[in-house]
Copies of this chain bind each other. A is one copy, B any other.
Amino acid sequence: MFESVRLPHDLRKEDFHALEERLREELLDAQFELAEQKRRCVLVLINGSDGAGKGEVLNKLYEWLDDHFVETLSYDQPTEEESLRPGAWRYWRDMPAKGRIGLVLGSWYHRALRELAIGGMSKDAFRNTLEEINRAEQMLFHEGVLILKIWLFMEGAKAHKRLDNIREPNGALRRAVVLEWEEIDKKKERERLNAAALEVAEVTSTGSAPWAVVRAEDSRYRDAAVADLLLQTLKRATQLQAKPSPVARSHLVPETALPRPSVVSALDLTQKAHPESYAKDLLKLQRRLTEFTTAKSFRDRGLVIAFEGNDAAGKGGAIRRVREALDPRRFRVYGVSAPTDEELARPYLWRFWRNVPRRGHVAIFDRSWYGRVLVERVEGYCTQDDWLRAYQEINDFERQLSEANYTVVKFWLAISRDEQLARFEDRKSKPTKRYKLRPDDWRNREKWPLYERAVTDMVDRTSSRLAPWNLVEANDKKFARLKVLRIINETLEASK
C-alpha cells in the first residue's frame, strides 16, 4: 500500500512560500465557516513513525490556524484514571464540540499497533479490533465528526537518524516529538510494527475515513501537504448537507404491516409481592447486593444499570432500593433528561461515555442511551436513519463495556395504561408529588401504541447475549423492586 510515498517528494522554498500564503488564508476562512456553522467537528489523527515530525506538524498547524478553535488531544500510556475504564473512554472524554478542530497525537491506532507489535495478539483478534475501529469511525462520521487520518511516512533508516538528532545531550528522547513507541527499540519489533501499520492501512482505509500517507522527509512538503489535506476536510465538513447521514436512504426497514405482538403487552402485570414478607425479602436482596459490590473481586469489575420504563412506572422508587444497598462512595445516579448544549454539540453517546464509571464502581442511569430509539424516535427528534443505525451502535457500545469487564443490566419497567392513569391522577392531587407530573407525560400517554412498538423493536434489536433486556412487571411497585434487585444479583452472580 501507498507505494508512491516511497518516491522523493519535495517542495522548493519559493513554491512553499507562495503556497503557504494561500493555504493560511483559506484555512482561516474554512475554519471560521466551521466554527460559525457548528454542525461538524474535525479530528486530525497525526500518526507516523517516531522522528517523522508529528510534533513539528502540530506546531505548524497551530501557527496557521486560529488557535481559539483548535485543541490538541494527546495520548500516551493510560493514566490511572484512564486505565480504570474501557479503552475508548479517554477518546470520548476529550471529544471536541462541533465547530472545533481536534489534533490527535497517539490515536487509537497507536494503541492497536502497539498491542500487536509488543503483545501476542492473534491475527483474527487484531483484525476484529480494526473492524471495531471502522464501525466506531463510521458512527462518528454519521454523528458529524469528520476524521482525517494522516500517516507521516519516513524510511526506517532516516527516521532513526532523525531520532538520534533529537536526543537530549543526556541521551533521553525529547518527549514532545517522540510519543508512543520509544520502548520499541529493537529492530525486529520495529519491523513488526511496520508490517502491522501496513495491515492497518489496508483494513481501515474506509469510505467514511480513508488514510492519507504523507512523505515526511522534506518538512516543507510535509507541512504543506498536511495543511492542504486539512483544508479539504474543512471544506467538506462545511459543504456536506446539513443532515449528513446518507445511511438514511440506504436503510431497508424490515417491518411488516401485519399485526405484531408487543413484548410488554404479553407481560402478566397482575403479579404482586407478598406484603407480609416484602420488607424481609427486600433487606435480604439488598444485603446480597452489598456483599457483591463490596467484595474484593468487584474491584476489577464495573456495574452499569439502565432503567427505562413507562412514565410513572416507578423507576425512581426502584433505583432508591438499589442505591440503599450500595457504598455511597462507589456509585452515582445519572438522571437523563433533555441534553445540555455541551451534549448536543457531540455524538449522542458522548453523554453516556463520559459517565462510564471506574471499575469497582456502579453507575445507575435513570433513562439512558435508549432515548434515541424511544423518545427521539417517537417524537421525531432524530431521523429514521439515526435511530435505525442506533441499534447497532448501542450494541457496539455495550459490547465494549462488557469486554472491559463491566456488567450491563437493563430494565424496562412496565405498567398498564390504566395503572398509569391512576398514578397520574394521584400525582396531580398530592402536593408532594405534583412536581413529578410534567405536561409531557400526558402527551406521551397519547402515543402509547407508538411507544409500545418502539419498545418491542428495542428489545428485539438490542437484547444481546452480553446485555439482555429485563422486562419488569411494575403495576405492583413492591414486586418490581424485588425483581429488579433479584436480577441485578443474579447477573452479578453469573458474571463473577
Contacts and interface: CB of A to CB of B under 8 A. Distances in A.
Given A128-B128, A207-B247, A232-B253, A258 B4 contact: no
Nearest to A202: B464
Interface stretch (A346-354, A384-392, A415-423): A384-392
Contact of A395 (B8, B202, B258, B266): B202
A2 B131 contact: no
A127 interface: yes
A263 interface: yes
Given A250-B141, A254-B212, A460 B261 contact: no
A208 B252 CA distance: 6
A57 interface: no
A460 B260 contact: no
Contact of A221 (B195, B258, B459): B258
A241 to B, nearest CB: 7
A317 interface: no
Given A9-B261, A124-B124, A207-B247, A148 B252 contact: yes
A4 B261 contact: yes
Nearest to A214: B256
A244 B252 CA distance: 13
Q: How many copies does the complex hold?
A: 2
A236 interface: yes
Interface stretch (A27-35, A79-87, A109-117, A223-231): A223-231
Interface in A256-273: 256-258, 260-263, 266
A3 interface: yes
Interface residues of A, number: 78
B256 A225 contact: yes
A127 B206 CA distance: 19
A205 B392 contact: yes
Nearest to A227: B256
A11 interface: yes
Contacts of A225: 256, 258
A288 interface: no
A1 interface: yes
Contact of A4 (B214, B240, B260): B260
A487 interface: no
Contact of A207 (B195, B229, B392, B462): B392
18 contacts: A1-B460, A3-B263, A4-B261, A4-B262, A4-B456, A7-B261, A7-B263, A7-B266, A122-B124, A124-B124, A124-B128, A195-B465, A198-B465, A202-B465, A207-B385, A209-B252, A210-B254, A210-B388
The 3 closest A-B pairs by CB, nearest first: A212-B254, A124-B124, A246-B246
Interface of A: 1-5, 7-9, 11, 19, 122, 124-125, 127-128, 131, 141, 146, 148-149, 195, 198-199, 202, 205-214, 221, 224-225, 228-229, 232-233, 236, 240-241, 244, 246-258, 260-263, 266, 385, 388-389, 391-392, 395, 456, 459-465, 469
Given A4-B459, A7-B263, 8 more contacts: A4-B263, A19-B258, A124-B124, A207-B388, A207-B392, A213-B460, A228-B257, A236-B252
